[in-house]
A and B are shown apart, each in its own frame.
Chain A
Amino acid sequence: MTCLDHYMRALCTLAAVWLVPASGSTLPEPVGHVARVEGAAFVSSRGHTNAAKVGQAIIPGVALSTGAEGGLGVIMGDGSVLSFGPDSELTLDDYRFAPASDELRLRATLNRGTLNLIAGDMARLDPQAIAVETPEGRVGVRGGQVLLKVKP
């Protein structure tokens, strides 16, 4: 009985050791997740575009977009909230929330559409941390809630 127990445990440990590095090397850490989807909303990552789903992980480099009647809301690791109206597209260029190693940045590009951004802990720790590029110029968000509209 105990022998079997030990044997099983050893097997499980082996499996865990084998599985963890394999998935760890291919999947980057999620830095946020999709929290609301209305109508046509998409997440594009590494050349693949899929319909956004609530709970879906967000990683740096993803593009978030909405169609004609679409809406999309995401929440980032520092508590920052981003939500989009129809016909919007944003690329999350860079995101890092690691106060212990002094790394604080949310860099995104809003190519078109509307963005509602509520700054999270990131902005409280470093007012320079959040910046959104647009075709007409850069907007730094020091805190609070800002609304951006980028004409196509």
Chain B
Amino acid sequence: MSGTLLLAMAALAGCAQHSYVMLADDSGGRGAAVLGDEQRVLDMPGQGMAIAPGGQAFAVSDMQRKADFAKALSAQPALPERFTFHLAPSGELDAGAEQLLDSVLLAARRRDYPVVTVIGHTDTLGHRAANEQVGMRRAQRMAELLRARGLEAMELRVESHGERNLLVATPDATAEPRNRRVEVLVR
């Protein structure tokens, strides 16, 4: 018991001297931090590493994490919400869209200063420039639909990522229904 406490205190004292980074969540294996010339990789959740050259990975105790980051974490705003509308080959919205539209309106209403971004996406079939336009038209239609339903937002942005933001990775010139979609980000 006292040994654990001593160890924890040693860890606290040892690391408090340095600037460090810790990985709090690895987002299902995709998250990591890389240091210096990308030679040092931090990919284990709960571990920290001094930022200065040569720092090794160490476990960050709950106590230390709380002492260092409780305030930064409590200042974290409500996370952005993302809604994905899939499109039929005809470009029409699918059957689940009605309910999803209501969810978007509700998410915006829950925020004091909602910023809503509507982003159109395509698959990789066709030319890149043409797909950017197709994505923009999809996003504009969705934005009109949201406005018609009475969406109130401090800012409504309409964008297209064309074929450059795929949900499912495919080679070029590939029809993939899951990539034909409109995303709405409420933040």
Contact = CB atoms under 8 A, between A and B. Distances in A.
* Same complex origin of A and B: yes
Contacts of B32: 142-144
Contact of B19 (A54, A121, A135): A135
20 contacts: A71-B75, A73-B75, A73-B77, A81-B80, A85-B69, A85-B70, A85-B72, A99-B165, A102-B164, A114-B68, A120-B80, A121-B165, A135-B19, A136-B52, A137-B53, A140-B34, A145-B25, A145-B31, A147-B69, A149-B69
When A and B form their complex, which 4 residue pairs have the shortest distance between CB atoms, in order from nearest?
A144-B31, A71-B75, A55-B113, A35-B77
Interface stretch (B83-91, B140-148, B154-162): B154-162
Interface residues of B, number: 56
Interface of B: 17-27, 30-36, 38, 42, 45, 50-53, 65, 68-80, 82, 112-113, 115, 117, 132, 135, 154-155, 157, 160-162, 164-165, 185, 187
A43 to B, nearest CB: 14
A38 interface: yes
A149 B34 contact: no
Given A75-B80, A146-B24, A54 B112 contact: yes
A139 B71 contact: no
A139 B34 contact: yes
A144 B36 contact: no
Interface of A: 30, 33, 35-36, 38, 54-55, 71-75, 77, 79, 81, 83-86, 88, 99-100, 102, 114-116, 118-121, 123-125, 134-151
B40 to A, nearest CB: 9
B75 A84 contact: yes
Contacts of B35: 137-140
A88 B22 CA distance: 17
Contact of A145 (B23, B50, B113, B135): B23
Contacts of B164: 99-100, 102, 125
Given A73-B77, A83-B73, A147-B24, A55 B185 contact: no
Nearest to B69: A147
A55 B72 contact: no
Contacts of A146: 21-24, 31, 33, 42
B17 A147 contact: no
Contact of B71 (A99, A114, A120, A148): A114
Contacts of B165: 99, 121, 125
Contacts of A115: 72
A85 B32 CA distance: 22
A33 B187 CA distance: 9
Name the residue in B53, B65, B80, B113 with the highest tally of chain A Cβ atoms < 10 Å from its Cβ.
B80
Nearest to B115: A33
B79 A147 contact: no
A30 B117 CA distance: 12
Contacts of A72: 75
